[in-house]
Amino acid sequence: MGATAIRVKQVHFVRLIGGEISTAVRRMLHEFISLICITIEVKYAISRLHKFVMPSNSKPLSPDSLLPEQLIRQEVLALNAYHVQPSPGMVKLDAMENPYGLPDGIRAEIAGAVANAAINRYPDANAQSLKQRIREVSGLPPEMEVLLGNGSDEIIQLLAMAVAKPGATLLSVEPSFVMYKMISAFTSLNYVGVPLTEDFSLDMPAMLEAIKRYRPALIFLAYPNNPTGNLFDATAIEQIIRAAPGLVVVDEAYYAFASDSFLPRLGSFPNLLVMRTFSKLGMAGLRLGYLAGSKIWLEQLEKLRLPYNVGVLPQLVAEILLQHHDVLLQQAGQIKLDRSWLFERLVGTVDVHAYPSAANFILFRLPRAASVFEGLKQRSVLIKKLDGGHPALADCLRVTVGTADENELFIRALQESIHQFS
Ligand code: PMP
């Protein structure tokens, strides 16, 4: 009932009983009913105000009845969390890790350094010593700066946060590394994924058209690309960097297995940044990635980097490992040799189409891929199922190059699984 309707009823009531009671009692009754009416009116006004302030479909927030839909952004509600497959007891060929351990001498050196590490103190916030070591092993041009991340995933997020003005766009290609799209959602960036051609090379007319249309603040190109494994044409990438109105990040996560790099080209393009990780070189457990580029960009990103994002132990251990960079490069060299062996076996397997790779994994397509993947799991071999993730990857699986023994085990299990489901 509205406040006006209550007032009218009050007047009627007082008139109705007016003839039978004294004036004093009538006045008291009048005041009493007025008081009730004022209370009802105030309550009514508050309830209207509530409706105005709160959207009609949201309940008032109370910790007991709180639902995620009431607080969490729509882009986040729509996401699926990055899925990591359980792997205990499996031959693990799903995550592009280096399959080799370290020689005893280096392990002892790490053990000694870790025993004496000041883990009661915060780490060096600028990781000066580790950065210097990275400069040395990567041959970084001296005028370029380095920013460290807790894995290169964190650097993708920093870059996205920095450019996330309302309406800004992040552009990449598809299929490529899924975190470019996920992090766009984390940071409310528009995401544009330009399809690669059928052989997974850059579709240059489509790329240039998309750059003109969406004016992306940030472009990511994985070089070599994950999950396809190929290196895009370098002159096409240069053309993209020139056409881009914003930053272009060449993501060289797999640089250790590739024949080309954009690091030496940093000085030639003011909007180029090169990102790398040590995850694939044997340090996946340390979580360490870096971004190289001009000071004008990196000093802005430094403002968003959380203090102490790389801990005491990762700094210490990575520095020791980079003193033995030759050992890691030797392991990468072995992985490249084994990649050729694995590629030939895959090409020689009936019904399998394998894609040439410049990384430490191989993408391949075969009939009934999802069943074959399950067959491999039954045989304790874990690889990555891409089928179902993106239309261009229908019936695709991806295997990481392991040790020679692991690769042989995988090929045997693959042949058995194919036979099982044919
Ligand atoms: N870029 C690419 C292309 C990748 O494939 C990956 C990991 N698979 C990353 C970046 C992230 O690596 P990390 O966070 O381990 O440094």
Say yes or no to pLDDT of 77 above 60. Answer: yes
Task: Tell me which residue of 137, 380, 155, 186 sits closest to 287, measured CA to CA.
Answer: 155
**Strands 247-251 vs 218-222: parallel, antiparallel or unpaired:** parallel
pLDDT for the residue 38: 60
Cα–Cα distance between 72 and 76 in angstroms, integer? 7
Say yes or no to pLDDT of 61 above 90. Answer: no
Give pLDDT tens digits for 156-206.
999 999 999 999 999 999 999 999 999 999 999 999 999 999 999 999 999
Cα–Cα distance between 222 and 203 in angstroms, integer? 15
Report the residue among 134, 277, 291, 309 best suited for mutation to probe ligand 1: largest number of ligand atoms under 8 A from its CB: 277
Report the residue among 152, 157, 291, 398 best suited for mutation to probe ligand 1: largest number of ligand atoms under 8 A from its CB: 152
CATH topology of domain 118-323: Aspartate Aminotransferase; domain 2 (3.40.640)
Residue that the structure tokens 């990384």 belong to: 359
Question: What separation in angstroms does the CA of 360 have from each of 8, 93, 279, 348?
Answer: 83, 10, 12, 19
CA of 320 to the centre of ligand 1 (A): 22
In this structure, which residue's CA is closest to atom 12 in ligand 1? Answer: 152
Give pLDDT tens digits for 2-40.
444 444 445 454 454 444 456 666 676 567 656 665 655
pLDDT for the residue 43: 62
Structure tokens at 160: 């996205």
Mean pLDDT for the stretch of residues 141-168: 97
pLDDT for the residue 19: 47
CA of 361 to the centre of ligand 1 (A): 13
Share of the chain above pLDDT 90, in %: 82
Determine the 3-state secondary structure of 88 from DSSP. Answer: coil
CA of 289 to the centre of ligand 1 (A): 9
Structure tokens at 397: 């699986």
DSSP 319-355: HHHHHTHHHHHHHHHHHHHHHHHHHHHHHTSTT-EEP
In this structure, which residue's CA is closest to atom 1 in ligand 1? Answer: 253
pLDDT for the residue 6: 44
Residue 149 CA, closest ligand 1 atom number: 16
Mean pLDDT of the chain: 91
The residue among 124 and 64 whose pLDDT is bigger is 124
pLDDT for the residue 64: 82
CA of 168 to the centre of ligand 1 (A): 23
> CB under 6 Å to ligand 1: residues?
96, 151-153, 177, 222, 226, 251, 253, 277, 279, 289
Residue 279 CA, closest ligand 1 atom number: 15
CA of 140 to the centre of ligand 1 (A): 20
Q: Which of 27-41, 315-329, 342-356 has the lowest mean pLDDT?
A: 27-41
In this structure, which residue's CA is closest to atom 5 in ligand 1? Answer: 226
Give pLDDT tens digits for 211-247.
999 999 999 999 999 999 999 999 999 999 999 999 9
Task: Tell me which residue of 176, 170, 179 sits closest to 215, measured CA to CA.
Answer: 170
Whole-number CA gyration radius for the chain: 31
pLDDT for the residue 42: 53
CA of 172 to the centre of ligand 1 (A): 15
Cα–Cα distance between 274 and 267 in angstroms, integer? 11
CATH topology of domain 327-420: Aspartate Aminotransferase, domain 1 (3.90.1150)
Say yes or no to pLDDT of 1 above 50. Answer: no
